[in-house]
């Protein structure tokens, strides 16, 4: 694999980290009947403009799969080089399936549709678990490897992994409290979006970090005329 190809693969993670949340927020902020505070990100895959988030999730997942391959190549063996990319690939698979298989109507969205449980919704939930759990685990697995260059990477990766799973778990609790009528409208959507934000910010940071560590033209292969003269 050439250094340029590696750069493109790592850049795919940066692209996914920007594309997915930006399209989610832009669509959610302008979608009639949808509340970024109240409704989950997956609910944008239903109702009006559902096709937009189907494309967003599938394309984002494919970009993350390419990123996983790039991380595998960039780490070149050693701690985290196997399970880190595997967990990132699992995250990518979860995102693709979540895009292709829509969730159930819930919390009044799409408007006018009753809350129901379907096989599609169950598959979507499993895909969502794979997404959040895989991304959180990847951050923990890669923490020490990334921390070989700076202790700050250990702290940041572990903090990101914690925030991803804590926000996702809190979103589930908020959703349950809302459906039981205990707290309405509960911030289930906000908490889920924060979980995704923590995860995708970490992906962007890792992509930028690894691209800087593996530039397009490695100094080992780039020789100036003066270097050749002194050989």
Q: What is the pLDDT along the chain (231 residues), one digit of tens a residue?
A: 678 899 999 999 999 999 999 999 999 999 999 999 999 999 999 988 999 999 999 999 999 999 999 999 999 888 899 999 999 999 999 999 999 999 999 888 998 888 888 999 999 999 999 999 999 999 999 999 999 988 999 999 999 999 999 999 999 999 999 988 898 899 999 999 999 999 999 999 999 999 998 765 343 333 333 343 333
Q: What is the DSSP string of 56-117?
A: HHHHHHHHHHHHHHHHHHHH-SSTTTTHHHHHHHHHHHHHHHHHHS----BTTBSTTPPP--
Residue-level pLDDT at 77: 84
Angle at 161 between CA 144 and CA 171, to 5 degrees: 175
Separation of alpha carbons 96 and 175, rounded Å: 23
**Burial (CB count within 10 angstroms: exposed 0-12, middle 13-18, buried 19+), residue 230:** exposed
Angle at 129 between CA 125 and CA 132, to 5 degrees: 135
Asked whether the beta carbons of 88 and 64 are under 8 A apart, the reply is yes
Residue-level pLDDT at 184: 86
User: Reduced to 3 states, what is the DSSP secondary structure of residue 44?
Assistant: helix
Closest by alpha carbon to 100, among 71, 131, 136? 131
Residue-level pLDDT at 223: 31
Residue-level pLDDT at 226: 39
CA 204 to centroid of chain Cα atoms: 9
Domain limits of the chain?
3-213
Asked whether the beta carbons of 51 and 30 are under 8 A apart, the reply is no
Closest by alpha carbon to 34, among 52, 25, 181? 25
């Amino acid at each position: 694999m050439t250094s340029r190809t590696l750069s493109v693969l790592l850049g795919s993670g940066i692209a996914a980290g920007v594309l997915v949340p930006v399209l989610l927020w832009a669509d959610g902020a302008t979608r009639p009947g949808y509340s970024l505070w109240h409704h989950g990100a997956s609910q944008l895959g239903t109702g009006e403009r559902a096709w937009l988030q189907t494309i967003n999730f599938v394309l984002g997942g494919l970009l993350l799969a390419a990123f996983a391959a790039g991380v595998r190549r960039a780490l070149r063996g050693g701690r985290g080089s196997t399970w880190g990319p595997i967990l990132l690939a699992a995250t990518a698979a979860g995102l693709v399936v979540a895009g292709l298989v829509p969730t159930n109507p819930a919390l009044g969205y799409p408007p006018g549709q009753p809350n129901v449980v379907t096989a599609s919704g169950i598959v979507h939930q499993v895909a969502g678990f794979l997404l959040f759990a895989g991304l959180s685990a990847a951050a923990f697995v890669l923490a020490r490897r990334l921390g070989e260059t700076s202790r700050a990477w250990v702290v940041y990766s572990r903090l990101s992994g914690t925030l991803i799973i804590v926000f996702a778990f809190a979103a589930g609790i908020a959703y349950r409290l809302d459906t039981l009528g205990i707290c309405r409208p509960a911030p289930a959507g906000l908490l889920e979006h924060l979980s995704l934000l923590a995860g995708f910010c970490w992906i962007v940071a890792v992509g930028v970090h690894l691209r800087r560590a593996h530039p397009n033209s490695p100094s080992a292969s780039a020789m100036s005329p003066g270097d050749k003269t002194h050989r």
